[in-house]
Protein backbone atom coordinates (compact mmCIF):
# COMPACT_ATOMS: atom_id res chain seq x y z
CA UNK A 1 0.00 0.00 0.00
CA UNK A 2 3.04 2.31 0.15
CA UNK A 3 2.71 3.62 -3.43
CA UNK A 4 -1.06 4.02 -3.14
CA UNK A 5 -0.70 5.97 0.10
CA UNK A 6 1.95 8.24 -1.37
CA UNK A 7 -0.20 8.98 -4.42
CA UNK A 8 -3.18 9.71 -2.18
CA UNK A 9 -1.02 12.02 -0.08
CA UNK A 10 -0.19 13.99 -3.23
CA UNK A 11 -3.91 14.30 -4.06
CA UNK A 12 -4.60 15.26 -0.43
CA UNK A 13 -2.01 18.04 -0.62
CA UNK A 14 -3.38 19.32 -3.92
CA UNK A 15 -6.85 19.43 -2.37
CA UNK A 16 -5.39 21.33 0.59
CA UNK A 17 -3.75 23.90 -1.70
CA UNK A 18 -6.97 24.37 -3.66
CA UNK A 19 -8.93 24.87 -0.44
CA UNK A 20 -6.41 27.45 0.79
CA UNK A 21 -6.78 29.25 -2.53
CA UNK A 22 -10.58 29.12 -2.35
CA UNK A 23 -10.67 30.48 1.19
CA UNK A 24 -8.25 33.22 0.12
CA UNK A 25 -10.44 34.27 -2.82
CA UNK A 26 -14.08 33.74 -1.89
CA UNK A 27 -14.29 35.84 1.29
CA UNK A 28 -12.63 38.89 -0.28
CA UNK A 29 -14.80 38.55 -3.39
CA UNK A 30 -17.86 38.72 -1.15
CA UNK A 31 -16.69 41.63 1.01
CA UNK A 32 -18.78 44.71 0.29
CA UNK A 33 -16.53 46.70 2.61
CA UNK A 34 -13.50 45.86 0.47
CA UNK A 35 -15.27 47.16 -2.64
CA UNK A 36 -16.28 50.38 -0.89
CA UNK A 37 -12.78 50.96 0.50
CA UNK A 38 -11.30 50.47 -2.95
CA UNK A 39 -13.79 52.91 -4.48
CA UNK A 40 -12.70 55.54 -1.97
CA UNK A 41 -9.03 54.77 -2.52
CA UNK A 42 -9.32 54.93 -6.32
CA UNK A 43 -11.59 58.01 -6.46
CA UNK A 44 -14.20 55.99 -8.31
CA UNK A 45 -16.93 58.54 -7.60
CA UNK A 46 -15.05 61.16 -9.62
CA UNK A 47 -14.30 58.76 -12.47
CA UNK A 48 -17.87 57.48 -12.82
CA UNK A 49 -20.03 60.39 -11.55
CA UNK A 50 -21.83 57.88 -9.30
CA UNK A 51 -22.32 58.78 -5.66
CA UNK A 52 -20.75 56.74 -2.86
CA UNK A 53 -24.16 55.33 -1.98
CA UNK A 54 -24.82 54.34 -5.59
CA UNK A 55 -21.40 52.67 -5.86
CA UNK A 56 -22.06 50.73 -2.68
CA UNK A 57 -25.38 49.49 -4.07
CA UNK A 58 -23.68 48.57 -7.35
CA UNK A 59 -21.02 46.65 -5.42
CA UNK A 60 -23.74 44.78 -3.52
CA UNK A 61 -25.43 44.01 -6.82
CA UNK A 62 -22.20 42.63 -8.34
CA UNK A 63 -21.63 40.41 -5.31
CA UNK A 64 -25.22 39.16 -5.30
CA UNK A 65 -24.98 38.38 -9.01
CA UNK A 66 -21.74 36.41 -8.68
CA UNK A 67 -23.09 34.44 -5.73
CA UNK A 68 -26.40 33.63 -7.43
CA UNK A 69 -28.72 35.97 -5.52
CA UNK A 70 -29.40 37.97 -8.71
CA UNK A 71 -30.07 36.54 -12.18
CA UNK A 72 -29.44 39.67 -14.24
CA UNK A 73 -26.18 41.58 -14.08
CA UNK A 74 -27.66 44.76 -15.50
CA UNK A 75 -28.26 47.46 -12.89
CA UNK A 76 -30.70 50.30 -13.49
CA UNK A 77 -29.88 53.65 -11.88
CA UNK A 78 -33.07 55.46 -10.90
CA UNK A 79 -31.43 58.87 -10.54
CA UNK A 80 -30.47 59.03 -14.22
CA UNK A 81 -33.03 56.47 -15.43
CA UNK A 82 -30.23 54.63 -17.25
CA UNK A 83 -28.67 51.19 -17.21
CA UNK A 84 -25.21 51.21 -15.65
CA UNK A 85 -23.53 48.43 -17.64
CA UNK A 86 -22.97 47.98 -21.34
CA UNK A 87 -24.06 44.92 -23.29
CA UNK A 88 -20.43 43.80 -23.50
CA UNK A 89 -20.12 44.04 -19.73
CA UNK A 90 -23.28 41.99 -19.20
CA UNK A 91 -22.11 39.26 -21.58
CA UNK A 92 -18.64 39.17 -20.05
CA UNK A 93 -19.97 38.93 -16.52
CA UNK A 94 -22.20 36.04 -17.56
CA UNK A 95 -19.00 34.14 -18.42
CA UNK A 96 -17.40 35.26 -15.16
CA UNK A 97 -20.41 34.05 -13.19
CA UNK A 98 -20.16 30.61 -14.83
CA UNK A 99 -16.51 30.36 -13.80
CA UNK A 100 -17.33 31.66 -10.33
CA UNK A 101 -20.15 29.14 -9.88
CA UNK A 102 -17.96 26.27 -11.10
CA UNK A 103 -15.25 27.41 -8.68
CA UNK A 104 -17.64 27.48 -5.73
CA UNK A 105 -19.12 24.07 -6.53
CA UNK A 106 -15.66 22.71 -7.24
CA UNK A 107 -14.50 23.95 -3.85
CA UNK A 108 -17.23 21.91 -2.16
CA UNK A 109 -16.25 18.82 -4.15
CA UNK A 110 -12.58 19.34 -3.24
CA UNK A 111 -13.57 19.81 0.41
CA UNK A 112 -15.44 16.49 0.32
CA UNK A 113 -12.41 14.72 -1.21
CA UNK A 114 -10.10 16.35 1.32
CA UNK A 115 -12.22 15.25 4.28
CA UNK A 116 -12.56 11.75 2.87
CA UNK A 117 -8.81 11.40 2.37
CA UNK A 118 -8.18 12.89 5.80
CA UNK A 119 -10.43 10.23 7.35
CA UNK A 120 -8.56 7.52 5.43
CA UNK A 121 -5.16 8.76 6.62
CA UNK A 122 -6.35 9.00 10.23
CA UNK A 123 -7.28 5.32 9.95
CA UNK A 124 -3.90 4.48 8.41
CA UNK A 125 -1.97 6.35 11.10
CA UNK A 126 -2.68 3.53 13.56
CA UNK A 127 -0.58 1.09 11.53
CA UNK A 128 1.99 3.02 9.43
CA UNK A 129 4.11 6.15 9.65
CA UNK A 130 2.80 8.28 6.81
CA UNK A 131 5.36 10.79 5.43
CA UNK A 132 2.75 13.56 5.43
CA UNK A 133 5.08 16.54 5.64
CA UNK A 134 7.62 15.18 3.14
CA UNK A 135 4.99 14.35 0.50
CA UNK A 136 3.25 17.69 1.07
CA UNK A 137 6.58 19.49 0.62
CA UNK A 138 7.36 17.64 -2.62
CA UNK A 139 3.89 18.36 -3.94
CA UNK A 140 4.12 22.08 -3.29
CA UNK A 141 7.54 22.10 -4.94
CA UNK A 142 5.91 20.64 -8.05
CA UNK A 143 3.15 23.23 -7.92
CA UNK A 144 5.83 25.87 -7.38
CA UNK A 145 7.53 24.87 -10.62
CA UNK A 146 4.25 25.46 -12.47
CA UNK A 147 3.81 28.85 -10.77
CA UNK A 148 7.38 29.87 -11.66
CA UNK A 149 6.68 28.85 -15.25
CA UNK A 150 3.59 31.06 -15.38
CA UNK A 151 5.54 33.91 -13.75
CA UNK A 152 8.27 33.63 -16.40
CA UNK A 153 5.56 33.61 -19.08
CA UNK A 154 4.20 36.84 -17.61
CA UNK A 155 7.67 38.37 -17.43
CA UNK A 156 8.48 37.53 -21.04
CA UNK A 157 5.10 38.88 -22.15
CA UNK A 158 5.75 42.11 -20.25
CA UNK A 159 9.26 42.56 -21.65
CA UNK A 160 8.29 41.76 -25.23
CA UNK A 161 4.75 43.15 -25.37
CA UNK A 162 3.18 46.59 -25.26
CA UNK A 163 2.05 46.60 -21.63
CA UNK A 164 2.06 49.58 -19.26
CA UNK A 165 3.14 47.43 -16.29
CA UNK A 166 3.84 43.88 -15.18
CA UNK A 167 0.39 43.43 -13.63
CA UNK A 168 -1.31 44.24 -16.94
CA UNK A 169 0.69 41.52 -18.68
CA UNK A 170 -0.25 39.05 -15.95
CA UNK A 171 -3.87 40.14 -16.13
CA UNK A 172 -4.00 39.37 -19.86
CA UNK A 173 -2.33 35.98 -19.39
CA UNK A 174 -4.74 35.17 -16.55
CA UNK A 175 -7.66 35.82 -18.91
CA UNK A 176 -6.04 33.62 -21.55
CA UNK A 177 -5.94 30.79 -19.03
CA UNK A 178 -9.52 31.13 -17.79
CA UNK A 179 -11.00 31.96 -21.22
CA UNK A 180 -9.46 29.51 -23.72
CA UNK A 181 -12.30 30.40 -26.10
CA UNK A 182 -10.82 33.14 -28.28
CA UNK A 183 -14.05 35.12 -28.67
CA UNK A 184 -14.66 35.19 -24.92
CA UNK A 185 -11.03 36.16 -24.31
CA UNK A 186 -11.19 39.03 -26.80
CA UNK A 187 -14.45 40.25 -25.33
CA UNK A 188 -12.85 40.26 -21.86
CA UNK A 189 -9.85 42.41 -22.85
CA UNK A 190 -11.32 44.80 -25.44
CA UNK A 191 -13.48 47.02 -23.24
CA UNK A 192 -13.52 50.75 -24.09
CA UNK A 193 -11.55 52.72 -21.51
CA UNK A 194 -14.70 54.59 -20.45
CA UNK A 195 -16.89 51.51 -19.95
CA UNK A 196 -18.52 51.67 -16.51
CA UNK A 197 -17.44 48.14 -15.62
CA UNK A 198 -13.81 49.09 -16.25
CA UNK A 199 -14.16 52.35 -14.35
CA UNK A 200 -15.75 50.64 -11.35
CA UNK A 201 -13.57 47.51 -11.31
CA UNK A 202 -10.39 49.09 -12.61
CA UNK A 203 -6.90 47.62 -12.67
CA UNK A 204 -6.00 49.18 -9.30
CA UNK A 205 -8.96 47.31 -7.78
CA UNK A 206 -7.67 43.98 -9.10
CA UNK A 207 -4.10 44.76 -8.07
CA UNK A 208 -5.30 45.25 -4.50
CA UNK A 209 -7.44 42.13 -4.49
CA UNK A 210 -4.58 40.08 -5.99
CA UNK A 211 -2.23 41.32 -3.28
CA UNK A 212 -4.70 40.39 -0.53
CA UNK A 213 -5.22 36.92 -2.02
CA UNK A 214 -1.47 36.25 -2.35
CA UNK A 215 -0.75 37.40 1.21
CA UNK A 216 -3.60 35.35 2.66
CA UNK A 217 -2.53 32.30 0.68
CA UNK A 218 1.11 32.54 1.79
CA UNK A 219 0.23 33.13 5.44
CA UNK A 220 -2.26 30.25 5.49
CA UNK A 221 0.18 27.97 3.66
CA UNK A 222 3.03 28.69 6.08
CA UNK A 223 0.73 28.18 9.07
CA UNK A 224 -0.63 24.87 7.80
CA UNK A 225 2.80 23.54 6.79
CA UNK A 226 4.12 24.44 10.24
CA UNK A 227 1.27 22.44 11.74
CA UNK A 228 2.03 19.52 9.40
CA UNK A 229 5.69 19.61 10.43
CA UNK A 230 4.78 19.49 14.12
CA UNK A 231 2.26 16.72 13.40
CA UNK A 232 4.88 14.71 11.54
CA UNK A 233 7.33 15.08 14.42
CA UNK A 234 4.69 13.83 16.84
CA UNK A 235 3.69 10.91 14.65
CA UNK A 236 7.30 9.80 14.22
CA UNK A 237 7.62 9.51 18.02
CA UNK A 238 4.26 7.83 18.49
CA UNK A 239 4.22 4.03 19.03
CA UNK A 240 2.27 2.02 16.47
CA UNK A 241 0.20 -1.14 16.76
CA UNK A 242 2.17 -4.23 17.61
CA UNK A 243 3.32 -6.17 14.55
CA UNK A 244 3.27 -3.18 12.17
CA UNK A 245 6.63 -1.60 13.13
CA UNK A 246 8.66 -3.09 10.29
CA UNK A 247 6.17 -1.94 7.67
CA UNK A 248 6.04 1.51 9.25
CA UNK A 249 9.82 1.88 9.26
CA UNK A 250 10.23 1.01 5.60
CA UNK A 251 7.33 3.28 4.60
CA UNK A 252 8.63 6.46 6.21
Rounded Cα–Cα distance for residues 72 and 64 (Å):
10
Q: How confident is the model at residue 129 (pLDDT cuts 50, 70, 90)?
A: confident
pLDDT for position 252: 42
Mean pLDDT of the chain: 88
- What pLDDT sits at residue 242? 54
Give the pLDDT mean for 84-96.
95
Per-residue pLDDT band for 241 (boundaries 50, 70, 90) equals low
Q: How far apart are CA 105 and CA 197, in angstroms?
A: 26
Q: Pick the closest to residue 59 from 248, 217, 209, 244 (CA basis).
A: 209
Band (1; pLDDT cuts 50, 70, 90): low
165 backbone φψ class: left, alpha, beta (φ>0; ψ -120 to 50)? beta
Q: What is the pTM of this model?
A: 0.83
Q: What is the pLDDT of residues 202-240, one digit of tens each?
A: 999 999 999 999 999 999 999 998 998 888 888 777 776
Is the backbone of residue 49 left (phi > 0), alpha (psi -120 to 50) or beta?
left
Amino acid sequence: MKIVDRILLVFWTICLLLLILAFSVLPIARSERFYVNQFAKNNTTEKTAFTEEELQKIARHIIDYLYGAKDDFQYHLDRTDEDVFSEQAVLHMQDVKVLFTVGRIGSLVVLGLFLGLTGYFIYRLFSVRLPIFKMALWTICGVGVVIVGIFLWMLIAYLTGDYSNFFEAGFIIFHKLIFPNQSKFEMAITFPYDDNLILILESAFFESIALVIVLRFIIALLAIYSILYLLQSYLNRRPLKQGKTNNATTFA
